[in-house]
Structures are given as C-alpha cells and as structure tokens.
Chain A
Amino acid sequence: ETGVTQTPRHLVMGMTNKKSLKCEQHLGHNAMYWYKQSAKKPLELMFVYSLEERVENNSVPSRFSPECPNSSHLFLHLHTLQPEDSALYLCASSQRAGGTYEQYFGPGTRLTVT
C-alpha cells in the first residue's frame, strides 16, 4: 500500500449503530487529520493529531470519537449518529515542521446515516 488508505470506502449505518472508520498512512508523516465534506459546504476540519497527541478539536459533537494509537493509524469511532452526519469523511497526513506542510489525502469514506 502507498499513500493514505481509508476503510471502508462506503458505510451505511443506522442511528443506533456503532462503527469505526480507519485510516492508515504509509508516508512516514507525524500528523494526521479527519475532515468532513458535505455537499455544497466547505471542507470542515474535525480533528488533528500531531505525534499521536490531539492538537485540535473543532467543536465536533461527542458522537464522533477519534483515536490515534500510533503515527501511522487514525480511527474515527461513530455512535448514535444523525442523518446530517451523512458525508464524505476524509483522512489526511502531513509532516509537521521541517516540511512544506502539504497534506496528503485518502480516498475517503462515504457515510450514509439512515
């Protein structure tokens, strides 16, 4: 595998389900991100992890719970979601400091909440 991978690519879940999104980066980066992309809305930064420590949490509801066990893996745990949470969830990684700050994105997980 190369770059940033995300699984699953598509997920349909009910409002009472619990599921997790997985992201893995193969670039040796030390920062990872979760973004939410809804139709007709700007890209929303949800969480940032740098060196496995959460450095940003943009007022995201507690039904979204991130986890970063090491610098290569990032999870987004989902529970009791709402229909408005349906969106494309993108993971990205970058090299914090010492690099040129570009972020590399995974293909995304298309989430539908029914």
Chain B
Amino acid sequence: AQSVTQPDIHITVSEGASLELRCNYSYGATPYLFWYVQSPGQGLQLLLKYFSGDTLVQGIKGFEAEFKRSQSSFNLRKPSVHWSDAAEYFCAGRENDYKLSFGAGTTVTVRA
C-alpha cells in the first residue's frame, strides 16, 4: 500500500535555529506529496506540494521541502524557526484521485 511515514513524533528546537522534519514515502511512480501544518485547535493548512519538476519546493511561511527519489524522502526544512512555528506538521501523499495518506504527524516545540 502507498503510504508516508514520519519517523519523529516530537522535535524541540530553539528559536532561530534550523528545523528539519522527516518524511519517507512508499510509492512506485512519482508521487504527489504535501506538507501541512496544524496549530492547536485549528484545521490543517497546506504549506507546500510536490508533483513534478524542481525537486526543491518553496512553500509559505518560509518553509521548503526537497524530494529525493533515491532516499524516498520529502523532508521539510526552515532555516530559522520562530516561536509561531510551534505546531504539528503532517506529511501526506496521494493515494488515488480523491484520497490522501497522512503521516502520524510531528509535533514541534520551540524553546526561547
């Protein structure tokens, strides 16, 4: 079955430090991949998406992600985190015309 896996349940990072969240996928063909962010009590907001072309994708809020076929990865990065980046982050991949498969999520805590 096609799926995505987020190996890290929780990450703590200092404000101003860089952040990298891991996502591994298992899809045969070129996958459609997404990163979402969820602040407490809110819905999921789309940060960025990849489906073809340049493997380095820029998103909103200063985030970027890199698609690496050789490593089956689609890791999310931000060079310098802000306290407002504390949230839960979900990686997702397309399963079919209407269904996405979501990872379990990574909670990011930002310390001052």
Contacts and interface: CB of A to CB of B under 8 A. Distances in A.
Interface residues of A, number: 27
Contacts of A43: 90, 102, 105
A97 B51 contact: no
Given A107-B43, A108-B43, A100 B49 contact: yes
B84 interface: no
A101 B32 contact: yes
20 contacts: A42-B102, A42-B104, A42-B105, A48-B98, A48-B99, A50-B97, A55-B98, A56-B99, A90-B43, A92-B43, A96-B98, A101-B94, A102-B49, A103-B46, A103-B100, A105-B43, A105-B45, A108-B41, A108-B42, A108-B43
Interface of B: 32, 34, 36, 41-46, 49, 51, 90, 94, 97-100, 102, 104-105
